[in-house]
Structure 1
Amino acid sequence: MTDKTLRNGFIAAGLMNIIPVLVLSRFFTNEVIPETDPAVMSNFGLLMIMVWGLAYIALAVNYSKAKWVVGVFVVEKLIYVIAWLMWIVNNDVSKVYKKDLFAGLFYSVYGINDLIFFLFFLFVFYRIQFKST
C-alpha cells in the first residue's frame, strides 16, 4: 500500500467515526442508541467516538512518525470490537430494529466497522515497525 492509500485510510477511519454517528444518532437526538447500551453508547460515548475520528484524521499526514499512537488506535478499535461482540452475544438486535431503524443499523454494523479499522491500524503499525528496523 502506498503512503497516500494509508493516509486516505486514516481519513476514512475518521469519517466512519463521525458521519454514521451523526446520521444514525440523528445528531444525538436518537434516544434508542444510548438506552440500548448506556455503558458504551451514551451520548457522551458517541461524542468520544467522534473525537477518536478526529484523532485519526489529525494523524493522517504524519502517521509514520507516531507508531505508538497508531498502536493506541489498534487497542482502542479492539476494545470496541470486543464490546460489540459481547453486546451481540447477549442481546437481540431485532428488538432494537423494532424500536428504531437507525439504532438497529448502528448496532448491526459498528463492530464490523471497528474490526475493519482494527485490521487497518494493525497493518499500519506493523508496517511502520518493519520500516523502522
Structure 2
Amino acid sequence: MATDYLKVVFYLAALFNSGVILVSRGFSEKLGEVDPLFSSDGCKCIVLWGMAYASIANRYDVVPLASLVFALEKFFYAKHWIVWTKENDVNALIRKDPLTGLFFSAYGAGDAAFGIFFAYVALRFRQNMFNSIAYKIKSS
C-alpha cells in the first residue's frame, strides 16, 4: 500500500501548530508579551487550526476549499512574521530568551511552507471545490 504523503503533511502541519503549546510554555502570556498575536488565546486558536488540518487529513481531496482557507490563514501568519521581523530585533530576543527567540525567528518560514502546500492541495483537487458530496454519492 502506497503512503499518502499529502495526508502525512496534513498531520505534520497539525503537529507544527501544536508545537506552540511548548513554545508558549503551556499557553502562558510569554509569546504574547513579544507579539500580541501570540497571546494565550491566540496560541489556543493556533492549536485549533492544527486540529482542523488533522480533521480533514483523510478527506482533503473532497474539501479543497478548506485547504484554500488553510493556505490563506498560513499566508496571513507568514506576512505578519515578515513585517514583525523587519520591525524587531530577533537576535536580541534570542539572547534574552532562546526558545522564544528561535520561535520568532522561524515560525513564519514554516507557515509559508505549509501555506504553499495547502494552496497546492486546493489547486490539485479544485475540480471538487463546488461539487456536493450528495451528488457524488448519488452518482456512485
The TM-score, its normalising length taken from structure 2, stands at: 0.85
1:1-133 paired onto structure 2 within 5 Å: 4-18=4-18, 20-29=19-28, 31=30, 33-38=31-36, 40-129=37-126
Shift of 1:30: 6.0
CA offsets, 1:62-110, max 9 Å, x none?
1111111111001101100000000011111012113211100110110
CA contact under 8 A between 1:24 and 1:30: conserved in structure 2? no
Whole-angstrom CA distance in 1 between matches of 2:27 and 2:95: 19
Identity of aligned residues (%): 35
Whole-angstrom CA distance in 2 between matches of 1:131 and 1:29: 41
Whole-angstrom CA distance in 1 between matches of 2:29 and 2:104: 13
Q: Which has the larger radius of gyration?
A: 2
Consecutive unaligned residues in structure 1, runs of 5 or more: none
Q: CA RMSD in A?
A: 1.7
The TM-score, its normalising length taken from structure 1, stands at: 0.89
Corresponding letter in the other structure for 1:64: D
CA offsets, 1:106-127, max 9 Å, x none?
1011001101101110111110
